[in-house]
Structure 1
Amino acid sequence: MAYKDKQLQEEKVFKDPVHRYVHVRDQVIWDLIATPEFQRLRRIKQLGTTNLTFHGAEHSRFNHSLGVYEIVRRIINNFQDRPNWDNEERLLCLCAALLHDLGHGPFSHSFEKVFKLDHEYFTQQIILGDTKINEVLERVQPGFAQNVADVIDKTYQNKLVVSLISSQIDADRMDYLLRDAYFTGVSYGHFDMERILRVMRPIEDQVVIKSTGMHAVEDYIMSRYQMYWQVYFHPVTRSAEVILTKILHRAKHLYETSNYTFKLEPTHFISFFTGDVQLEHYLKLDESIVQYYFQLWQDEDDFILSDLCERFMNRRLFKYVEFNPSHMMKELMELYRLFQKIGIDPEYYLVDDSSSDLPYDFYRPGEEEERLPIHLLMPNGELKELSRHSDIVEAISGKKRTDHKLYFPKDVLDINEDKQTVEQIKAILYGQGDEGNVN
C-alpha cells in the first residue's frame, strides 16, 4: 500500500475541549504531528500576551492546528460524493490545515513586527526545507510538500481547496473563534458551527453556504466582530504587547551598542538582531526561551531593559488614555519633550498604539488584501453575496474600525520629584480622555 493511503491500525484521538475529539486515521497525519517542527507549536501560545488579561488563555498553536485539521476533516466527510469535490485532494487539505500555522514565532505578531518577519514565509520554509516535516510530505509523492505550501500561500490552482483553509469563512477562523472564546471564558465567540458545516457546499472554486444557513453565518460574523474588540484588541493585552516589543527593541539597540556587555549574552536572538535569520535559528526560538531571557534580563545593568523585563514578568503594565493621532500630534510632541525633561525616555515609555479590523468585506477586485466574499446558494441555484441578502452583515460590510491608545507608566510619573512638569503631563494626557485602567 502506498504511504499516502496508509491507515493506522486503529484510529487515534486527541481529547479536545472544543471539538470533543480530534480524530486521526491517516499515517501521514500521525507522522506529521510527531515531528519536532510541529511539536514546537506546543511552546507557542495561540494568543500571545492575552493570558495577562484573560488568565485562562494559555492554549497553544498546537491546540489550534489540531482543531483546524479536525474541522477540515469533518467538512471533507460532508463533501463526499458531492459534485465539484475531488477526493484526491483530501490528504492535501488535511495536511495544509494541520500545518497552516507552522511558522509562527514566539508571541507571534508582536515578534514579527519588531524583526520584520513573516510567519507565512517561515511556514513555507519549514515545509520545503531540510526538516522532518518535509521528509514526511515528500514520502507521499515528490512535489507534495510544494502543493501543501501552495495551499497555505493561497497560490494552489484549486481555489476550492484554498478556501477551506483561507477565506472569510474558513476552518482557521471557525476554530480560533470557538477555541479563544473557550479559553478566555467569554461568551462572544460562540456560534453554531455544526449548522454551518451542514450547510457548506463545494462549487468549482470556493465553498458556499446554503441560503437556509444564512442566520448561522450572521452569528459567526458578529461573533468574530465581538471577539476582535472584546478580546484580541483588549487594551490591557496591548499594553503587554507594547512592553514586549520595547524589550526586544531595547535588547537589539544594546546589542548594536559597542560599549554595552550583556550579563547574559543574547545568543538565541543574535541572528534576529543582525537580520540574518536562518531556519535553524528560527526553530530554536520559542516562548520558553524568550521568557528565560526576560527573567534573567531583569538583572541587567541597563535600567530600561531591566525595568521593562520586570514589568512584563510581573505584569506591571502601562496605563493608557484614548488617543486621536489626527488631532493630538502637537500634544504628543510636547509630551515627548516633557518626558525627556523629567528623565523618562519617551522612546520606551510613551507609546501610541493602534488596532484596526475589517469584520467582513464584499469583493473589491484589484485591491490590496483582496477578499473573496461569502456566497449564499439560493434555492434556484443562483449565488448571492452575503451582504446583499443580510441586513445585519450589510451594516458592517467594508467598514474598517480603528482604535488608538497612548500608553505610559503612570507609576513612574506619580513618584517623579518634578511635580510641576508631571502635572503638565497629566493635564495633557487626561485632557484627552479618561484614564484607562489596567487591572
Structure 2
Amino acid sequence: MLEREKVLRDPVHDHIYIQHQVILDLINTKEFQRLRRIKQLGTTSSTFHGAEHSRFSHSVGVYEITRRICDLFERNYPSKEPSDGLWDDSERLVALCAALLHDVGHGAYSHTFEHIFSTNHEEMTQKIITDQSTEINAVLREVSPAFPEKVASVINKTYSNPQVVQMISSKLDADRMDYLLRDSYFTGTHYGTFDLTRILRVMRPYEGGIVFDKTGMHAVEDYIISRFQMYQQIYFHPVSRSMEVILSHLLKRAKDLYLKNELEDGFAKNYLEPFFNEEFTLGDYLRLDDGVLNTCFESWRYSKDRILRDFAIRFLDRHPLKSMLYDSKTASISLDNLKELVSNCGYNADYYTGTNNSFDLPYKYDKANIKLLEKNGDLVELSNVSALVGALTNKSLGDERFFFPKEMLEEESQSEIFKCYYDEFLKHIKNDRII
C-alpha cells in the first residue's frame, strides 16, 4: 500500500484513488502510457467531435469502479470462512490489476486494424502481461513470480474466482459501466447515463460470482436500456461506420500494394512491413498508436498511387462515403448492379464500395445471465421478472449498409460519364434510406 494515496481527477468519476504501489507502477509503464495515444472510440470523433478520449482514461476508469466494488464487498460482505461465497479481500489486488490492464493490448485504431492484419487485442493483452520483455510484466513479477499469469487468467476468464472475473467481464461489469458513462460524456449525449451508485449498492458476491438485489432491478433495467441506446445511436452511427470503411480500405490498399512490391519506401512502410508480412513481434505491435498510423496516412496523401492517395485524403480530411440501408431482398436485387455502376463511373469497386452490418443483442439469454437475489435467497434471471428486459432479450437490432462514393449522388457539375449513370444509379436506391 502507498503511504499516502494518489488521486487522479476524472470528468466521469470525479476522483480516481490509487492506493497500491503496484497500480501506480503499472500506470507509469511505457506499455500503459501508450494507451494515451489510442482513442477509445476510433473513428467516432469524425461524427461526435468530443469523442477524443483515450483507452488510458477508460482503463483507469474501469480500475476505479472495480476498486469501489471491492470496497463495498469488503465492507458489507466479507468472507467469514472458506467457501462461504462471500468476498475474500485477498483477491483485491489481482482484480484491480486485471481491471487496469484489461485493454492494454488494444492496437492503433484497434478494431479496424485487427480486421485487416488479423491481430487480437485480448491475446495481445495477455501477451503484454506475461511476456518478460515488458515493463508491465516486471512490475507484476514484483508481487510474485506467478502473479502475471494470475492477472492474465482473469482476462481470459479462466481465473478460479468467478467474482473477480465477473467484475471485469460479464453482462454488467466495470468495463461496460465505465465505457457507457465515459463515451456518453465525451460524445455530448445522454444515452449512456444510468445510476452507477445504485447498481454498485445492490451488487453482492455469491459462490457462483456476482448477483444483484432484486430491489435494484430498475437500476439494472436502466443500464440495459442505456447500453441499447448507445449502440443504436452512437456506436452504430452510419457516418462513423463510413469512416471505418474508408480506414479499412486505405489499409487494405496499402497492403495490396506492398504485396505487389508497389508501395513506396518511407516511414509508413518501415512501421507496417511486419504486419503486411504477418510476421510481427510484440515490439512491432507496441510501436504503433493512432498517431503513428495518422503519420503513415499523411505520407500517403502524396502517394503516386491514385487510390491510396485518395483514401488517405478522404480519411484525414473527413470525406465520408455515402451509405444506404439494404436487406436480404435489396442485396439480391441491386448491390451487384450498384457496384457495376460505380465501376462504370471510373471507380475500382473493390475499394470504393463496401458493406457493413452492425447488430447488437441488447440482452442475450445464456448461462452468463444477470441474476437477481430475492429476499428469500432465491436467484431469478433478470429477463424472467423484467418485462422491459424480456422485450429486448435475444432481439438482434441494427442494420446493414452499402457504402459508395458521395459523387454518385451529385447530379450537378459532374462529368458526362457520371450524368449517364446518375438516373440509373438512383433507380436502385431509395433516397429515404441514404445517409
TM range (shorter): over 0.9
- How has the CA–CA distance of structure 1 residues 262 and 426 changed in structure 2, closer, same or farther, with 3 Å as cutoff? farther
> Could you say what secondary structure the match of 1:106 adopts?
coil
Q: Which residue of 1 aligns with 2:64?
A: 70
Q: Which residue of 2 aligns with 1:434?
A: 433
**Separation in 2, partners of 1:341, 1:21:** 58
More divergent stretch after superposition (415-424 vs 351-360): 415-424
- How has the CA–CA distance of structure 1 residues 428 and 95 changed in structure 2, closer, same or farther, with 3 Å as cutoff? same
> Could you say what secondary structure the match of 1:14 adopts?
strand
TM-score, normalised with respect to structure 2: 0.94
Give the aligned CA root-mean-square deviation in angstroms: 1.4
**Separation in 1, partners of 2:237, 2:119:** 24
Q: Which residue of 2 aligns with 1:374?
A: 370
> What's the CA shift for 1:399?
1.1
1:421 maps to 2:412? no
> Could you say what secondary structure the match of 2:376 adopts?
coil
- How has the CA–CA distance of structure 1 residues 201 and 265 changed in structure 2, closer, same or farther, with 3 Å as cutoff? closer
> What's the CA shift for 1:260?
4.8
More divergent stretch after superposition (67-76 vs 422-431): 422-431
**Separation in 2, partners of 1:168, 1:340:** 44
- Counting matched residue pairs gives 422
**Separation in 2, partners of 1:139, 1:428:** 64
> Does the CA-based 8 Å contact 1:262-1:300 persist in structure 2?
no
1:126 maps to 2:120? no
**Separation in 2, partners of 1:312, 1:355:** 21
> Could you say what secondary structure the match of 2:347 adopts?
coil
> Does the CA-based 8 Å contact 2:255-2:276 persist in structure 1?
yes
1:137 maps to 2:131? no
Q: Which residue of 2 aligns with 1:90?
A: 92
**Separation in 1, partners of 2:43, 2:325:** 21
Q: Which residue of 1 aligns with 2:113?
A: 111
Q: Which residue of 1 aligns with 2:334?
A: 331
> Does the CA-based 8 Å contact 2:65-2:174 persist in structure 1?
yes
Report the residue type matching 1:94 in the other structure: L
1:319 pairs with 319, 322, 327, which one?
Answer: 322
2:34 pairs with 40, 50, 57, which one?
Answer: 40
> Could you say what secondary structure the match of 1:388 adopts?
helix
1:276 maps to 2:272? no
Report the residue type matching 2:101 in the other structure: L
> What's the CA shift for 1:110?
1.2
> Could you say what secondary structure the match of 2:18 adopts?
strand
Q: Which residue of 1 aligns with 2:223?
A: 220
- How has the CA–CA distance of structure 1 residues 311 and 78 changed in structure 2, closer, same or farther, with 3 Å as cutoff? same
> Does the CA-based 8 Å contact 1:45-1:60 persist in structure 2?
yes
Report the residue type matching 1:115 in the other structure: F
> What's the CA shift for 1:265?
4.9
1:231 maps to 2:224? no
Q: Percent identity?
A: 49
Q: Which residue of 2 aligns with 1:147?
A: 150
> What's the CA shift for 1:435?
2.2
1:288 maps to 2:291? yes
1:405 maps to 2:407? no
Q: Which residue of 2 aligns with 1:390?
A: 386
> What's the CA shift for 1:422?
2.9
Unaligned runs of 5+ in 1: 1-6, 364-370
Q: Which residue of 2 aligns with 1:3?
A: none
> What's the CA shift for 1:201?
0.4
> What's the CA shift for 1:425?
1.8
